[in-house]
Amino acid sequence: MKPTDPDPGVDLPEDDEAAFERLERIGAWVDGELSGEERAAFERELAADPELQAEVESFKQTMNAVANLGGPVQAPESFVAEVESRIRVRSHGRFFNDDFFYRSRVPYEVFAGLMLAMIAALLWFGESHQRDTDLAMAGSQQGKQAPAPHGGGDLTPPAPPTTPPTPHVAPLRREIVVYHLTVSDADPTARARALSQRFQATDQRYAVKVDADAERTTLRVTMPRDQVESFVQSVSAEGQLRKTRAWIEGDAPQTQTVTIVIDRSAPAPPTP
């Protein structure tokens, strides 16, 4: 019911309309709601009209019956328990505070399952990334075509990132040039030593990592990216230079490694 609700009214036959208005007036008089003048007029009419007196009496009897209608009823003893039961069922037992926390917490089995799923996902991402970078490293060390980690043909990426990989929603891909120099020398170890000393003698003092076996020695020279071009130019005459392109994800690394493989059985570089 709202304040703006219209009066539902009553559906009365025409001859009841007058009776309805008279009854409204009787009710107002019984309730003491008539103003002084209306009240005096009603009471004069009442004193002179036995029919109105009977109507007033009948009205009072009716309202008395309404007031005493049916007598009081009692709720059954089980009422409180039944209400509580309804509340517990509807709220799945979470309503009252004494067990609210216990019942509303996530079961530990679900928690453990979620943790395991997260660990498995991390391991999967880490392993996947490691596999990609291992393949790329193998390609750059042996001068063979490594499977393109990101669809780049025989391209090899730079050194793997040192931070643990995290899955990206939309990784930014960049193209970089990877240099690979193959040098032929009957004594790879001596040649590698000579080259290494030469690189160390420069002002830049590049970081050189050496791997050697009976057939070949591999030098990995790491330097700032902006010095790669000049470095490559300075050593390109030593052997056969191969340039490949690779795609990397994320920001370009600050440094880059140039791989120099000194191979005992590699073909000699073409004479200029």
Partner 1 sequence: MTEGEERRLVRRLKQRDEEAFREVVTLYQHKVLNLVFRLLGDYEEAQDLSQEVFVAVFKHIDAFRGDARFSTWLYRIATNLCMNRLKYHKRRARDRTQSLTEGPEGDGGMLPLVSNSPTPEKLMAGHQLEVAVQKALANLSEEYRTLIVLRDTEHMAYADIATITGLNEGTVKSRLHRARAALKIEVNRYYETD
Q: Which amino acid is at 4?
A: T
Looking at the DSSP bridge assignments, the partners of residue 245 are 177
Number of shown-chain residues binding partner 1 (CB under 8 A) = 50
Distances (CA, A) of 159 to 46, 111, 137, 138, 258: 112, 38, 7, 11, 10
CB of 74 to partner 1, least distance (A): 6
Tell whether residue 135 is a contact of partner 1 (CB under 8 A): no
**Interface residue with partner 1, options 48, 67, 169, 170 (CB under 8 A):** 67
Is 70 or 270 the residue whose CB approaches partner 1 more closely? 70
**Interface residue with partner 1, options 38, 49, 84, 187 (CB under 8 A):** 84
Tell whether residue 53 is a contact of partner 1 (CB under 8 A): no
Is the distance from CB of 59 to CB of 23 less than 8 angstroms? yes
Is 26 or 241 the residue whose CB approaches partner 1 more closely? 26
Footprint of partner 1 on residues 95-134 (CB under 8 A)?
Answer: 95-98, 100
Is the distance from CB of 241 to CB of 162 less than 8 angstroms? no
Tell whether residue 87 is a contact of partner 1 (CB under 8 A): yes
DSSP 73-119: ----TTHHHHHHHHHHHHTTT-SSTTTHHHHHSPPHHHHHHHHHHHH
Tell whether residue 1 is a contact of partner 1 (CB under 8 A): yes
The position carrying tokens 């193998």 is 138
**Interface residue with partner 1, options 35, 50, 65, 272 (CB under 8 A):** 65
**Interface residue with partner 1, options 47, 83, 118, 119 (CB under 8 A):** 83
Quote the tokens at residue 259: 């791989």
Query: CB count, 10 Å around CB of 188?
Result: 24
Is 37 or 109 the residue whose CB approaches partner 1 more closely? 37
Is the distance from CB of 237 to CB of 181 less than 8 angstroms? no
Quote the CA–CA distance of 144 and 131 in Å, as a whole number.
17
Footprint of partner 1 on residues 3-42 (CB under 8 A)?
Answer: 3, 5, 7-10, 12, 16, 19-21, 23-24, 26-28, 31, 33
Residues that bind partner 1 (CB under 8 A): 1-3, 5, 7-10, 12, 16, 19-21, 23-24, 26-28, 31, 33, 58-59, 61-63, 65-76, 79-80, 82-84, 86-87, 90, 95-98, 100
